[in-house]
Amino acid sequence: MKFNKGNIVARKSYGYDVIFRVVAVNEETGLVELSGEDLRLYADAPIDDLKLISDSERDQNQVRQKKLEDESNRLFRQDYKLLRAKREYTSTNGFRQRQAYFEMPGRVLHIDGDPYYLKKCLHVYEKLGVPVLGKHVKEEDMPNVVPNLVRHIRPDILVLTGHDAFMKSKGDESELKAYRHSAHFVRTVKEVRYLVPHLDQLVIFAGACQSHFELLIRSGANFASSPTRINIHALDPVYLVSKISFTPFSEQVNVWDVLRNTLSGSDGIGGVETKGILRTGMPFYPNE
């Protein structure tokens, strides 16, 4: 069967567990490059290992994914309401006085190796009310491009993501050479940390599916994927950093509270204690 760029497929040898988009077809080698439709996984497979996914199968998958995303969104909004109620109580001296105030959530610079996912993530940031600037940068270009962007934009939170994969044929789980893009993420984190060394001055999330979690954390990321080398959902970085963006700077971010809002949980994402970023100000005089 002939496959074209953009086709939606699944791999027979993996029991059709992940749905992919076809990125490129190499007729000479008979290999097809694949990008996860909902997971940040990059892979290749022989043409005869692929099955074309029908529109009805794709629709069923989208329904399942939407249920997961809606649940994560619900948890985020639930946490946000609790945090806001606490801030209102503090700002009004225990509700003893009326006082309007304004909020300054953390600004996010989201760097994504996949333009399709970037667009999807920016839509969710907008729904959640997180101030964000998104840039599409290929993973291999991130170490050279991202430090200059950080210098000029000066974000509060930096997201470095895209696609990755652990390839057993290229080495052990502890070896960086066995990962498709982890080395690029690690180098980018190190370059940025030369500019902003303090973990609470710039919060960094780095990684994608099956990334080398330990090295990313040691390089200076506050949060990273993937502790157990599982696949992470395309929107996991969004829910994670949105929680940090709306947590007051005077409070520590509880790592478990952050991870429970993601679709992958602690198997897919981990991190270290980090301060929130949101600041409350007053007075606020809304326009009549």
Whether residues 225 and 86 share a domain: the answer is: yes
The CATH number covering residue 196 comes to 3.40.50.2300
- Structurally, the chain folds into a number of domains equal to 2
Range(s) of the domain holding residue 102: 62-281
List the chain pLDDT tens, one digit each, 288 residues: 788 888 899 998 888 888 888 988 888 888 898 988 877 777 888 888 998 988 888 888 778 777 767 766 676 666 666 666 666 655 555 545 556 667 899 999 999 999 988 998 999 899 888 999 999 999 999 999 999 999 999 999 999 999 898 998 899 999 999 999 999 999 999 999 999 999 999 999 999 989 999 999 999 999 999 999 998 888 889 989 998 999 888 888 878 877 877 778 888 999 999 999 998 877 766 665
Yes or no: say if 268 and 205 are a contact pair by the CB < 8 Å rule. Answer: no
User: The pTM is what?
Assistant: 0.82
Any domain includes 40: yes
Whether residues 210 and 124 share a domain: the answer is: yes
Yes or no: say if 188 and 172 are a contact pair by the CB < 8 Å rule. Answer: no
| The dihedral sign for the CA sequence 167, 172, 174, 178 | negative
Dihedral pair phi/psi, residue 42, rounded to 5°: -115, 135
Whether residues 96 and 222 share a domain: the answer is: yes
Any domain includes 2: no
Q: Which residue is it, tokens 């940390």?
A: 193
Whether residues 16 and 78 share a domain: the answer is: no
Whether residues 42 and 89 share a domain: the answer is: no
Any domain includes 107: yes
Whether residues 136 and 181 share a domain: the answer is: yes
Any domain includes 198: yes
Whether residues 43 and 85 share a domain: the answer is: no
